[in-house]
């Protein structure tokens, strides 16, 4: 008959209680041995400071900081040279602070599988809901949502420079798809690898849109030119667009969320095609002389400026775009009548539309977009501003946790 293992009846102290006991013991040694010289006196003081620093004890009024998972302090046999106890302090630094952002339809229940993985790892995770105010308040950010949720937090995420794990949970998940996150399972695998090794972080580009305001300058008016003042930029992660794509995005946002996530974008395209009229549009790129050269100037049905290859939940408007190549892929559709455009629409899902006459495709790091009348610009499915604008790519602006 097998014996049951004997239970340890010794009381277990919490980490905070152990710290209090160790600190009191070390303080008593410092107080009763004031004549000691280095390393005895300074060694005990250094150990006490090390424990408090490692635990990150905070004064009243300061936010809670991370604490070590465990530590042990014990006295050893006195040394022969000096009748001073030796101290062994074991500190665990396996601690991580994870900030969590929930998009629409997500809750703490969505987080449970990730918490389960964390419990099996060597890390003790301190979970915090909401976007951290500064980069020293978290070690990683988990974002549950789609392209719109990412877009709303993108500028702050780039500023924090923390690794971001995307969990696709929106009506459009094109950015997650560009990163290889086709479902929650991919995000779970990426999180498991990050908890074990922290070696699956890559740096990617983001796009930015800066509205331009015309400045009335005597010199420019005399020479028939227009100068612009640039306002603050808005970041985007997938595709920015004007023309037909913006009108479709506006209409799609008026649909119920469940319908947007089940083909709502495609359903909105079809009736919009026959109602949209081309708009005279000028797209300029910088040249070697620090001036602007016109790259496209014609009535345009659609112009897309892509950091990632897809938008609208899977439409490959820029099939050659990559999120880390330092360029934006530009797709301009012009000179196509409504019926031909309607027939062309299915080819956008495979990227074969690039072979059709009337579709222009090029790359640029920076460009300006001006239209005959102000047009709405949408990016990541969200309204940003109206033309004229300057659109550019920001290299290596965001850290991403990948599968």
Structure tokens at 380: 């990541």
Q: Is 351 among the domain residues?
A: yes
Q: Respond yes or no on whether the N-terminal peptide bond of residue 387 is cis (omega within 30° of 0).
A: no
Whether residues 333 and 373 share a domain: the answer is yes
Number of structural domains (the chain) is 3
In tens, the pLDDT along 74-131 reads 333 344 344 433 333 333 346 889 999 999 889 999 999 999 999 888 778 899 999 9
Q: Is the pLDDT of residue 56 over 70?
A: no
Same domain, 373 and 319: yes
Which of 5-14, 91-100, 217-226 has the highest average model confidence (pLDDT)? Answer: 91-100
CA 75, CA 72: separation in Å to the nearest integer? Answer: 10
Give residue 372's pLDDT.
92
Q: Do 62 and 112 have their domain in common?
A: no
Quick one: 225 and 316 in the same domain?
yes
Answer whether residue 2 is part of any domain.
no
Q: Which of 137-151, 236-250, 265-279 has the lowest mean pLDDT?
A: 265-279
Question: Does position 164 have pLDDT exceeding 60, yes or no?
Answer: yes
- Of 204, 228, 249, which marks where a domain is finished? 204
Per DSSP, 260 falls in state: I
Q: Please check the confidence at residue 359 and state whether its pLDDT lies above 60.
A: yes
How far apart are the C-alpha atoms of 206 and 204, rounded to whole Å?
A: 7
Whether residue 192 is found in the same domain as residue 211: no
On whether both 85 and 185 belong to a single domain, the answer is no
Q: Pick the range with the lowest mean pLDDT from 179-183, 262-266, 297-301, 353-357.
A: 262-266
Q: What is the pLDDT of residues 117-147, one digit of tens each?
A: 998 887 788 999 999 999 999 999 999 999 9
pLDDT at 21: 53
pTM attached to this predicted model: 0.73
> What SS3 state is found at 107?
coil
* Mean per-residue pLDDT of the chain: 79
CA atoms within 13 A on the CB side of 203: 8
Residue 25 pLDDT class (50, 70, 90 cuts): very low
The DSSP bridge partners found for residue 240 are 305, 379
Residue 401 domain-assigned (yes or no): no
Is residue 320 situated within a structural domain? yes
Q: What is the pLDDT of residues 274-329, one digit of tens each?
A: 888 899 999 999 988 778 999 999 999 999 999 999 998 889 999 999 999 999 99
- Strand locations in 244-388 (E): 279-286, 292-306, 328-334, 359-364, 366-371, 376-379, 382-386
Of 68, 91, 114, the position where a domain reaches its end is 91
Same domain as 275, residue 183: no
Are residue 283 and residue 183 in the same domain, yes or no?
A: no
**Per-residue model confidence (pLDDT) at position 214:** 62
From CA 69, how far away is CA 92, in angstroms rounded? 6
pLDDT at residue 39 tops 60:
no
Same domain? For 376 and 387 the reply is: yes
- Domain CATH number, residue 124: 3.40.50.10330
Domain span including residue 190? 95-204
In a domain, 402, yes or no: no
The verdict on residue 273 lying in a domain is yes
**Same domain assignment for residues 373 and 251:** yes
Instruction: Let me know whether 174 and 226 are in one domain.
Output: no
Asked if residue 7 is part of any domain, the answer here is no
pLDDT-above-90 percentage for the chain: 53
Phi and psi of 341, rounded to 5°? -65, -40
Q: What is the pLDDT of residue 34?
A: 44
**Sign of the four-CA dihedral 104, 108, 110, 114:** positive
pLDDT of residue 6 exceeding 90: no
Give the residue carrying structure tokens 């060597």. Answer: 122
Name the most confidently modeled range: 30-34, 102-106, 171-175, 320-324: 320-324
Pairwise pLDDT comparison (392 vs 85), residue with the higher score: 392
Q: Is residue 400 part of a domain?
A: no
Final residue of a domain: which of 184, 204, 224? 204
User: What is d(CA 207, CA 333) in angstroms, rounded to the nearest whole number?
Assistant: 21
Are residues 166 and 176 in contact, defined by beta-carbon separation less than 8 angstroms? yes
Same domain, 335 and 189: no
| Highest-scoring range by mean pLDDT, 49-63, 114-128, 159-173 | 159-173
Q: Flag whether pLDDT at 215 surpasses 50.
A: no
Alpha-carbon distance of 56 to 87, in angstroms, equals 20
């Amino acid at each position: 008959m097998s014996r049951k293992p004997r239970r340890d009846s010794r009381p277990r102290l919490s980490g905070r209680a152990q710290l209090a006991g160790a600190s009191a013991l070390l303080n008593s040694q410092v107080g009763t041995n004031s004549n000691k010289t280095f390393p005895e006196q300074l060694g005990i003081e250094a150990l006490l400071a090390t424990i408090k620093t490692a635990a990150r004890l905070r004064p009243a009024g300061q936010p809670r900081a991370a604490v070590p998972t465990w530590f042990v302090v014990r006295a050893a046999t006195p040394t022969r040279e000096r009748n001073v106890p030796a101290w062994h302090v074991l500190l665990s630094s396996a601690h991580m602070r994870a900030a969590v952002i929930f998009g629409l339809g997500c809750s703490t229940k969505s987080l449970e599988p990730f918490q389960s993985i964390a419990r099996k790892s060597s890390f003790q995770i301190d979970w915090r809901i909401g976007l951290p105010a500064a980069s020293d308040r978290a070690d990683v950010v988990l974002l549950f949502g789609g392209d719109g949720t990412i877009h709303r937090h993108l500028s702050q995420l780039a500023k924090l420079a923390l690794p971001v794990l995307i969990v696709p949970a929106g009506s459009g998940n094109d950015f997650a798809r560009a990163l290889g996150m086709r479902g929650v399972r991919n995000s779970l695998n990426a999180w498991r690898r990050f908890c074990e090794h922290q070696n699956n972080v890559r740096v990617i580009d983001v796009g930015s849109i800066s509205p331009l305001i015309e400045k009335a300058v005597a010199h420019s008016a005399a020479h028939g030119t227009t100068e612009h003042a640039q306002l603050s930029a808005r970041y985007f992660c997938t595709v920015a667009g004007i023309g037909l794509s913006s009108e479709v995005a506006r209409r799609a946002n008026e649909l119920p969320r469940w319908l947007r996530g089940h083909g709502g974008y495609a359903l909105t395209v079809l009736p919009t095609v026959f109602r949209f009229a081309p708009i005279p549009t000028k797209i300029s790129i910088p040249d070697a002389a620090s001036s602007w050269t016109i790259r496209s100037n014609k009535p345009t049905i659609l112009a897309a400026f892509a950091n990632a290859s897809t938008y609208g939940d899977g439409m490959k408007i820029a099939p050659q775009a990559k999120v880390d190549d330092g360029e934006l892929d530009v797709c301009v559709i012009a000179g196509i009548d409504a019926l031909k455009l309607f027939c062309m629409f299915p080819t956008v899902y495979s990227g074969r539309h690039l072979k059709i006459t009337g579709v222009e495709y090029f790359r640029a790091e920076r460009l300006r977009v001006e239209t005959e009348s102000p047009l709405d610009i949408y990016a990541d499915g969200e309204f940003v501003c109206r033309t004229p604008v300057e659109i550019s790519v920001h290299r290596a602006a965001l850290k991403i946790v990948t599968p």
